[in-house]
A = this chain, B = another copy of it.
Amino acid sequence: MKTIQAIGEFGLIRQLQEKIPLAGDDCAVLPGGLLLTCDPVIEGIHFLPTTPARQVGWKAMARNLSDIAAMGGTPRYAVVSLGLRPATPVRWVRQLYTGLHAAAKKFGCEIVGGDTAHTRREQFVVVTLLGHAAKPVRRSGAKPGDIVFVTGKLGGSFASGKHLTFTPRLREGRQLARYAHAMMDISDGLASDLYRLVESSHVGFAIDSAKIPGKLPGALTDGEDFELLFTVAPRHAGKLRKKYSEIGRVIKKPVVLLDGQPLEAHGYDHFAQRR
């Protein structure tokens, strides 16, 4: 009897893809350019019992906003599903909502509803976002010869606390939607997420380690960076180099090379290891 742990998160996703036609994008793209996405934040995994509730709320909203950013979209409406222990102070829930609201409001999104239920042990927050994009950027459009960029800095998100306070790259995502052939947010680590682009775009990547904006190996593997990873045609690279880090180029062979050597997809896997 195979367990999820045995096949890992990617294995599970592949198994589920047989059952549901997931494009593997950060959001589902619906008719009319509507975007729909949901992501859980779970106690003990994505936050600790001691994490301030306001930061838990910010993170729960912001990681979903980051998925909208990754499609070049604009968030509109959110619903929030909470699993709470009965002994949780009401104040904790109010502060959680303060954080949820702060992130939503900052990016023009409205919390319109939700549901609460009780859980015996781990608390969780699932935010679902509805947004839209005139021209959603998918993971599948990377072309050989494209230049590969990332926004911001990578690595150390847990150590620095960035994973609780990061700014979702919505502004950048919308601007990049005009240029990007493929885009996604870096949630499981650059190494792991590059392989997701390999699977979606059927291309490979030649990455220059010296150009990665962050300390190795953490910048490759820590995850929860919530920066954008995207590819553009070479003619657009010039103007983007001023704001973003060029880290390599797209190649035909479906593999990730780091300084010419094959790189393992050793980012964060939800089921193969424990954080």
Contact = CB atoms under 8 A, between A and B. Distances in A.
Interface of A: 1-7, 9, 11-13, 15-16, 19-20, 22-23, 25, 27-28, 30, 34, 36-40, 42, 44-46, 76-77, 79-91, 93-94, 97-98, 101, 111-122, 124, 126, 128, 130, 270-271, 274
Copies of this protein, total: 2
A113 B28 contact: yes
Given A36-B79, A94-B15, A128-B36, A117 B270 contact: yes
B38 A94 contact: no
B4 A111 contact: no
B28 A115 contact: no
Q: List 10 A-B pairs, minimum CB-CB distance, nearest first.
A: A28-B113, A5-B86, A28-B112, A128-B128, A121-B121, A126-B126, A118-B270, A38-B81, A19-B97, A86-B271
Contact of A2 (B38, B91, B119, B271): B91
Contact of A116 (B82, B83, B270): B270
A128 B94 contact: no
B3 A90 contact: yes
A25 B113 CA distance: 9
Contacts of A116: 9, 12-13, 16, 270
A45 B44 CA distance: 20
Nearest to A67: B115
A4 B117 contact: no
A80 B22 CA distance: 11
A11, A19, A28, A86, most chain B CB atoms within 10 A? A86
Given A3-B86, A90-B2, A38 B271 contact: no
A71 to B, nearest CB: 12
Q: Is the interface of A mostly helix, strand, loop or mixed?
A: mixed
B83 A42 contact: yes
Contacts of A274: 86, 118
A4 B88 contact: yes
A44 to B, nearest CB: 6
A1 B92 CA distance: 10
Given A40-B126, A97-B19, A122-B120, A27 B113 contact: yes
11 contacts: A3-B89, A4-B90, A4-B118, A12-B93, A12-B116, A15-B93, A20-B97, A45-B119, A83-B122, A84-B271, A122-B122
A85 B49 CA distance: 19
